[in-house]
Every structure is written in structure tokens, then in C-alpha cells.
Amino acid sequence: MLLQKIEAKKGNITESVRKISEKENVPAEKISESVAKGRTVILTHKNICWTGIGDCLHIKVNANLGTSPNVVDVDGELSKLDKACQLKTDTVMDLSTGGNLDIIREKIVQASPVPVGSVPIYQADIETVEEKGSFSHLTAEKIFRTIEKHAESGISFVTVHCGITLENLEMLKKSPRKTGVVSRGGSFIFSWMALTGKENPLYENFDRLIEIAKKYDLVLSLGDGLRPGCISDATDNLQISEVLKLGKLAGYANEEGVQVIIEGPGHVPINQIFTNVQIVKNICASAPLYLLGPLVTDIAPGYDHITSAIGAAVAGWAGADFICYVTPGEHLTLPTIDDVADGVVAAKIAAHAGDIARDMPGARKQDDLISEARFKRDWKQQEIFSINPEKFKKVRESQGIFSDDVCNMCGKYCAMKIISDMLKTPVTHF
């Protein structure tokens, strides 16, 4: 097994680094150096697709898929996968918690053209509850076996909640947090620690995780079990104490040649986002930062693709590398396929706004092309260069089309038409 970080540390530029270099128009040497330092990771998908995530590359987007205990529609999830990929998500995660989890995961891995991530603790926990009636019977053995099974079945990255410990459980009991723990995996582990009085195996036996990661070049996404679930809980002692532990583990993984990502909040007021990104980057050896949002307000369920796009754009500007989409269904329901589409596009907008702010090479090219087409009122070209041509067409036609030249908001009083005519025609001819 060729390990990306080990090769990069040796100064070997791998085939996958070359492919990413071509795709993103960033020098291969630069990417390889960043991988060696742990500032960039490379996700490998079935030897057909390599996706780089890190400080010298474009910001990437993930779309969550998967069944719930109440809604198990595997074909529906595969349709969401197609839609998310059509709208250019960079990765997907299978977060299924209902139905036959092995079969669903395998179907998604097989159908996906992009790297697939998962959260193995879900399956370990759910199977334990189903087989033995309670979380409390979960064993370290079961957790690590499940993680290895996921890696074997083609999963490229796994969320592992390594940074929460018994110490955090005591802190949590005394905490004034309004929403406690909103991480599903985090709640499983806290509950297990409370039931058994034992330390989190993912923290205590991190070495075992390192061994699995080395065997499969599995990227470890160090989960944020204590991410704030409302703006009132943001940037608190619980959140930061987890970041400190993740930093220690990230440093160790770096030494061992294992690729890691750090996961981040959550719900954060807009003026605390830079602080959050900088703390994680500083403490966690500048490992790639994977954010869920952050949502900049709690009041907008039904619109959390927007509240999270605001936060994600600012976070991208501040240095976040990887954005998990949030759909309009967040906090309310498993997303519909339309929710998935809206979520992917909102996250892509945020990522793109971040790339522009960070002055990524070529980031403005598509903006320039569509703007030039806009001034010429070339609607076909605008459609082609728009983030979702299907939506462009649908909205443009929503109230009928009255002209091939202008849109029906301003009609003949189109400012760009008036000005381009004026600039074209000598004044005396008016």
C-alpha cells in the first residue's frame, strides 16, 4: 500500500498528486510539500479518483447521504448521490442509520464517482443496540472492527470522535450549554462512557486507529463531538478542550505518516468564525479543517443552507478547507432530493466565495466569463457559466421570456443594454 503522506515526506511525487496538480492547476511540488507537512490530505477513491483537500488547493464540498431509522429508501439515496455529483460535490458521506448498513454503504461506494466517507461508530453502536439491547455492550473491539470493515469496503475517510474523554463528560455535566451535544457520534460515545465509566476507546487506543489508517491509507477525520449546536454554546471551554486533544492526536498522526482532517463547528456567530478557524489551525498543526457550516444563527430552520453558506464563506476566507453542506432539511427532516441540490449549490457558492477571497489561482475565471456574457446579454453563455444551468433556465423562464436580448425585470430599460449602446455609439448619433 502506497501511503500518500509517507511518499510526500520522502519527496516522491505520486501519480495522484500529479493528477490533482493538473486538475487544480497548482504545482505538484507545492501539493506534495503540503501533504508531507500534513496541511493537505489526499482521498483515494477506488483507484479512479483522487481528491486533495488542504491549504494550497480549492475549497472542497461534501454532501451527506444516508438512510435514517424512519426513512429507508436506498434508491432514493442513490438518486441524491447522482444529483449531488451532477452539481459537483467533491465528496459524499454515507451516514446511514437505517436498513442494512453494509449493503447501503457498498452500493453508495460502488455508484459514487467521488470519494466516500462514513462514521463507523453509527454502525457499531446500532448493531450493538439491535443485538444486545443497549449501547453499554459496545466494545472497543467492535468499534475498530467496524472501522476496518468500512476501510476494506472502499471508504476513503472516516469520522472518528477521538477527542472526547471522561474528563469532558464531567465538564458537560456542569456546563451551562443550551444544546449539550449535537454530534450523533459524540452522543453515542458520551452515553457509553456514562454507562460503563470507561474511557473513549478512540482516544485511549488511538494507536489502533493509526494502524488501520496505515493499512488502507484511510484518512482520519477527527470528529468534533463537542461542536456547539447553537450560537450561545460557541467557542466555549468544552469545544476548545476537544480541539486541544485533537491537536495532540493530529501531531502524533503526522509523525506516523497518517493523514488527518480536523472537524469543526457547528453554530458560531459570524464575528467568532475567524477565531474558531485560527484556533483549530494553530493547535492542530494546520491540518485541513472540515466545517459543518458554521451556521451564523439558530433561528432559521428551513433555510439552514443559507445560514451555513454565510458561515462557510467566511470560514473559507479565514482558512477552512472543506465544507460539509447543510440542507434546508437540517434540524427538521432527512433531506429530499431538492434539499440535497439546494445544499450542494449553497456550499459550492460558499466554497467559491472563499476561493475568491483567498485568491486561489483561476478562482475568478468563471465570474469573469459570466459577467462578460451578462454585459453582452448572451443568455446561452450565461447559462453555461452559471453554477446550475438547469436552475438558471428554470428561473429565467418562470414568468415567460419576452425578449432574447434582455430579461424581463428591466425589459427595454436594461442598464447594461443602455450603457453598452451608449458606449458603442458616438454621442452625436443619439
Contact between 264 and 276 (Cβ < 8 Å): yes
Instruction: Kindly state whether residue 325 participates in binding a second copy, applying the rule CB under 8 A.
Output: no
Instruction: Kindly state whether residue 387 participates in binding a second copy, applying the rule CB under 8 A.
Output: yes
Phi-psi region of 278 (alpha: psi -120 to 50; beta: other; left: phi over 0): alpha
Q: Which string of DSSP letters, residue by residue, matches 216-236?
A: HTPEEEE--TT--SSGGGTT-
Q: Which is nearer to a second copy, 47 or 428 (CB)?
A: 428
Contact between 72 and 98 (Cβ < 8 Å): yes
Q: Give the whole-angstrom CA distance, residue 34 versus residue 18.
A: 13
Instruction: Kindly state whether residue 306 participates in binding a second copy, applying the rule CB under 8 A.
Output: yes
Residues 102-131 that bind a second copy (CB under 8 A): 122, 125-126
DSSP element (H, E) containing 51: strand 49-54
The residue ranges of DSSP E strands in 270-338, in sequence order, are 289-292, 322-324
Residues 389-408 that bind a second copy (CB under 8 A): 391-392, 394-400, 402-403, 407-408
Cis ω on the peptide bond leading into residue 266 (within 30° of 0)? yes
Contact between 228 and 236 (Cβ < 8 Å): yes
**Coil, strand or helix at 189:** helix
Instruction: Kindly state whether residue 166 participates in binding a second copy, applying the rule CB under 8 A.
Output: no
Q: In the complex, what is the shortest distance from the CB of residue 166 to a second copy, in angstroms, rounded to a whole number?
A: 12
With CB under 8 A as the contact rule, the residue among 212, 220, 326, 345 that binds a second copy is 345
Instruction: Kindly state whether residue 362 participates in binding a second copy, applying the rule CB under 8 A.
Output: no
Residues 242-301 that bind a second copy (CB under 8 A): 269-271, 296-301
Q: Give the whole-angstrom CA distance, residue 277 versus residue 412.
A: 47
Contact between 115 and 156 (Cβ < 8 Å): yes
Q: In the complex, what is the shortest distance from the CB of residue 47 to a second copy, in angstroms, rounded to a whole number?
A: 32
Residues 130-159 that bind a second copy (CB under 8 A): 134, 136
- Interface segment toward a second copy; rule CB under 8 A; list 8-16, 24-32, 108-116, 332-340: 332-340
With CB under 8 A as the contact rule, the residue among 81, 182, 250, 260 that binds a second copy is 182
Q: Which is nearer to a second copy, 149 or 364 (CB)?
A: 364
Q: In the complex, what is the shortest distance from the CB of residue 365 to a second copy, in angstroms, rounded to a whole number?
A: 10
Residues 200-219 that bind a second copy (CB under 8 A): none
Cis ω on the peptide bond leading into residue 176 (within 30° of 0)? no
Q: In the complex, what is the shortest distance from the CB of residue 160 to a second copy, in angstroms, rounded to a whole number?
A: 16
Q: Which is nearer to a second copy, 140 or 194 (CB)?
A: 194
**Coil, strand or helix at 389:** helix
Q: Write down the H helix ranges in 265-336.
A: 273-283, 304-318
Q: Give bridge partners of residue 62 from the DSSP assignment.
A: 91, 324
Q: Which is nearer to a second copy, 26 or 231 (CB)?
A: 231
Instruction: Kindly state whether residue 232 participates in binding a second copy, applying the rule CB under 8 A.
Output: yes
Count of residues interacting with a second copy (CB under 8 A): 113
Q: In the complex, what is the shortest distance from the CB of residue 401 to a second copy, in angstroms, rounded to a whole number?
A: 8
Q: In the complex, what is the shortest distance from the CB of residue 237 to a second copy, in angstroms, rounded to a whole number?
A: 17
Instruction: Kindly state whether residue 382 participates in binding a second copy, applying the rule CB under 8 A.
Output: yes
With CB under 8 A as the contact rule, the residue among 11, 113, 302, 362 that binds a second copy is 302
- Residue 172 C-alpha cell reads as 458537560
With CB under 8 A as the contact rule, the residue among 141, 332, 361, 405 that binds a second copy is 332
> How many other CB atoms are there within 10 angstroms of residue 267's CB atom?
26
- Residue 137 C-alpha cell reads as 455492550
